[in-house]
Structure 1
C-alpha cells in the first residue's frame, strides 16, 4: 500500500479504508473476473466447511442473524459477512456474534493487497475477500454470506457455497438491476448451484427463479410449495416441510417470513441442530436497525427500511403495535431509491414529518423528499437535526420512527450512543 496515497487517519483500519476508497474507478463494479482471480490465487473460495449465501431485495441481514443465533446455540463457530454497516466498518464481519478488531481487519486487507498484484478491486470486492480471509484464519465452522447487490455478478458469488437463499424479490437498485422483476429474479438466482439446495422465500416468485433452478439442476425449495409457515394461537407459529413440522415456535423480533426461510436453509445444510436450538435462536436473534427500540418515553424506533417493500412491512408492524399513537417520522434517503413510493407507503403512519438531507454522491436532499410530503414542512440539514427536533416536540407517549436508509439510522444511532442515553 503506497503511503503517499494514504491520508492521515486515526487507526490502521481507517487508513486502509481511505486508501481502498480511491484505488478503483467506481464504488460499484459488477463482474467476477477480477475478484475470482484473486480469490482463487489466495485460496479463499471455500472459507469454511459449510457456507450459506443469502441474496434478496430485503431481509438478508435478518435471515443471516436468525441462522446465526440458531447455529451459535447449537455450538457452531459462525462467521457472518454483511453490508452496509451502520456506524463502524467492523460491523460487516461478525465471528460468534462479535465484531473483530481494527488490527485484524487491517491484517486481512494487507493479505489481500499482497495477493491482488496489479488487479484492481473495488472497496466492496476488497472487503469481501478480506472477510473470507478472516473467516479462514479464525477457522469458523459455518459462514453466512450476505450478497451486496444482485447476486450473479456480486463479489460474494465467487465462493463455493453449499446452500443458496433468496429472501425476497422486489424492484430496487434500478440503476444497476433495472425495473423488470423477472430480470431481478434471474440476477438473484445467479447464486444457485448445480445439485445444491436453493431456497426462495418470496411467495409467487417470478418464473425466472424456478426456470434458472431447473436449467442448472439446483434443488429449489419455494415457500408455499416445498415449505410453509403460519401464525398459530398464543403468539406462536408453526413451520412445515413435507411431513416434518415444528409447532409452538416463539415469534422472533425479526420478520417471520425470514425466520421461515432461515429454517429451510438450515434444514438443507446437513448440520446438527435440535428443536431446542431453533427455539432458543428464535428468541435470541436481534439485529440493529430493524425495529430497534432505543427509548421508551417517547418510544423511539430505528428501521433501515428504504424501499416500498420494506416500508410496507414496517407500516404493518407499526399498525399492529402502536394504534392511536402520535407518530413522528424522521426520514432521509438516497436519491437512487424510489422516494415517492416509499414515502407514500409511510404516509398513513405520519402525524408529523421531519425530512432531512444526507451527504455524499448518492444523497437526497430534504427538498427532494418534500416534493412528496405535505406542503410547509420544516427541513433539516442532517438526520440528527431532524431527530433532535422530533425529540423536543414529542410527548412521552408519542412514537418517533427513524427511517429511510442505513445512513439515516446510523447517524442517529451514533448520536444516541455518544449522548450515553
Structure 2
C-alpha cells in the first residue's frame, strides 16, 4: 500500500504562488473590497493596542525597537512588516518569533480565500488579512503594523491605530503617492484617526500633514518640538515633556528610528521602565541595514533604494572611511525599474571610487541602460549579483570596502551568493 506524505511547507509555497497569480497585480486605489472581506472575517475591531508605522524610511527599525521594548516589559506583541528578504515567515512575528508552522499560515489563507469569494484583492491585501487573523487568535496586548505603501489606501489602514507614527517624508513611489512631499505627506497621514497621538520624525513637516492633523484633531509629537535627542561620544540622550533619558547606548539602527520609538513608548499608556529602554535599544539589529557580511574585505549590504536612505548611508560610510584611512570604496548597485536611480546615487557618487552594476532576478529590475545612463562612464556591468561579487572579491585589497545596495532583491541575492562562494 502506498504511503502519501503531506508536506506543509510545499503546500505553503503553492498557496503563496496561488495568491500572487490570482490576486490583483496593480495597486488598489480603493479599500472597498478589503474592508468588505475584513468584515466577513470579523477582524476590523481588535482588542489589542495598535501602533501603525508609516514613513519613507526607517519603518522596520522603528517597529523592531518598539517590539523589543514591549516584549522586555512583559507584554505580548504581534509585529507585521514588509517586504521580506528570504522567506515569507519574516513578515509576521508573535512574541518575537516567526510563525514557522506552515499550517497556521495555510489555515489563515484558506479563511481569507473563502471570505473573499469574487472580491478582488491585491497580494498585499490578502496576506495582511491573513496576518490580522493570526494576531486576533492570540489576543495580544500590542499589535505593531508597518505600512506597506503610503498609508491612506494601504491594507494595514483598515485597522484603527491607537498611536500613529510617520518616520519621515521622502520622494519614493511617486507614481502612486504623488510627485511632491506635500502629496506624499497627505497619503501617509491617512493613518490618522480622531484624537489619537501621532509621532512625527521629519524635520520639515509638509502642510498636508498639518491639515490632516487639524481635521482629525490628533495630538502631535514632533521631532524638534515635543521631543528630540543629541549625540555624545559613547552614548546619546533623549528628551521630551517627561524629562531627559540619559546615557542611552548607541543603537545598531539609526538614531532617528530609535528616538521615534522612544517618543512613542513614552506617550503610550503602557508602563515601560526606562531601564528596559536602555537595555533594549542596542540589541535590535535588522538584516540588510548597513549589515557587514564579510570583514576582509569589508562587505556591506544595505537595502537603501531612495535618496533619503542613501544620504543616511553616505554619512555612515564617511565615518567608516575616516576611521579606515587610505582605502578604496567599491559599489555594486541593482535597483527596481520604477525607482529614482539618479536621486538614489546622488549622495554616493562622490565617495565611491569604482562602480559596478547589475540586473536583478525579478521582472521588476531596472535594465542595463536604466542604470548605465546615471553612473560614471567607467562603471562596469556584471551579469548577476553573484558574478559581480565574485569579480569584486578577486580585485579588491583586504582593507577595501565593497558596498552592495539598491533593493531588498539586491541584498537578498548578495547574502545568498556569499553563502555559496566558500570564502
Same fold, TM-score > 0.5, yes or no: yes
Give the corresponding residue for 1:4.
Answer: none
Alignment of 1:295-310 (within 5 A): 295-310=294-309
Matched, 1:53 2:52: yes
Shift of 1:414: 2.2
Give the corresponding residue for 2:174.
Answer: 174
Q: TM-score, normalised by structure 2?
A: 0.94
Matched, 1:321 2:323: no
Alignment of 1:213-362 (within 5 A): 213-232=213-232, 234-323=233-322, 324=325, 325-362=327-364
**Please, which moves more after superposition, 188-197 or 22-31?**
22-31
Alignment of 1:41-80 (within 5 A): 41-80=40-79
* C-alpha distance in 1 between matches for 2:420 and 2:49: 38
Report the 3-state secondary structure (helix = DSSP H, G, I; strand = E; otherwise coil) of the residue aligned with 2:347: helix
Deviations along 1:125-147, one digit per CA (max 9) or x if unpaired, are 00111111111223332111000
* C-alpha distance in 1 between matches for 2:205 and 2:313: 21
* C-alpha distance in 2 between matches for 1:411 and 1:30: 32
* C-alpha distance in 2 between matches for 1:280 and 1:420: 36
- Which residue of 407, 410, 416 corresponds with 1:408? 410
Report the 3-state secondary structure (helix = DSSP H, G, I; strand = E; otherwise coil) of the residue aligned with 1:17: helix
Give the corresponding residue for 2:3.
Answer: none
Q: Quick one: structure 1 residues 238 and 356, their matched pair in 2 at CA, closer, same or farther if it must change by over 3 Å?
A: same
Give the corresponding residue for 2:4.
Answer: none
**Please, which moves more after superposition, 24-33 or 347-356?**
24-33
Deviations along 1:228-279, one digit per CA (max 9) or x if unpaired, are 11113x3211111124211111110100011111111112221121111101
Tell me if structure 2 keeps the 8 A contact 1:367–1:379.
Answer: no
Shift of 1:104: 2.0
Deviations along 1:28-67, one digit per CA (max 9) or x if unpaired, are 2232111111112212124452110000011111110111
Tell me if structure 2 keeps the 8 A contact 1:50–1:141.
Answer: yes
Deviations along 1:99-125, one digit per CA (max 9) or x if unpaired, are 212332222111211222221111000
Matched, 1:129 2:129: yes
Q: Stretches of 4+ moved more than 6 A in 1?
A: none
Alignment of 1:57-206 (within 5 A): 57-101=56-100, 102-206=102-206
* C-alpha distance in 2 between matches for 1:169 and 1:252: 22
Tell me if structure 1 keeps the 8 A contact 2:386–2:413.
Answer: yes
Report the 3-state secondary structure (helix = DSSP H, G, I; strand = E; otherwise coil) of the residue aligned with 1:284: coil
* C-alpha distance in 2 between matches for 1:294 and 1:276: 31
Q: Quick one: structure 1 residues 418 and 32, their matched pair in 2 at CA, closer, same or farther if it must change by over 3 Å?
A: farther
- Which residue of 398, 401, 405 corresponds with 1:399? 401
Structure 1 spans left out of the alignment, 5+ residues: 1-7
Alignment of 1:31-42 (within 5 A): 31-42=30-41
**Please, which moves more after superposition, 41-50 or 291-300?**
41-50
Tell me if structure 2 keeps the 8 A contact 1:47–1:133.
Answer: no
Structure 2 spans left out of the alignment, 5+ residues: 1-6
Report the 3-state secondary structure (helix = DSSP H, G, I; strand = E; otherwise coil) of the residue aligned with 1:322: helix
* C-alpha distance in 2 between matches for 1:113 and 1:266: 36
Report the 3-state secondary structure (helix = DSSP H, G, I; strand = E; otherwise coil) of the residue aligned with 1:238: strand
Tell me if structure 1 keeps the 8 A contact 2:356–2:380.
Answer: yes
Tell me if structure 2 keeps the 8 A contact 1:21–1:27.
Answer: no
Report the 3-state secondary structure (helix = DSSP H, G, I; strand = E; otherwise coil) of the residue aligned with 1:75: coil
**Please, which moves more after superposition, 110-119 or 296-305?**
110-119
Tell me if structure 2 keeps the 8 A contact 1:48–1:142.
Answer: no
Deviations along 1:175-213, one digit per CA (max 9) or x if unpaired, are 101211111111101101111111111112111112211
Tell me if structure 1 keeps the 8 A contact 2:8–2:103.
Answer: no
Q: Quick one: structure 1 residues 393 and 419, their matched pair in 2 at CA, closer, same or farther if it must change by over 3 Å?
A: closer
Report the 3-state secondary structure (helix = DSSP H, G, I; strand = E; otherwise coil) of the residue aligned with 1:115: helix
Q: Quick one: structure 1 residues 114 and 420, their matched pair in 2 at CA, closer, same or farther if it must change by over 3 Å?
A: farther
Tell me if structure 1 keeps the 8 A contact 2:390–2:421.
Answer: no
Shift of 1:420: 7.0
Tell me if structure 2 keeps the 8 A contact 1:31–1:154.
Answer: no
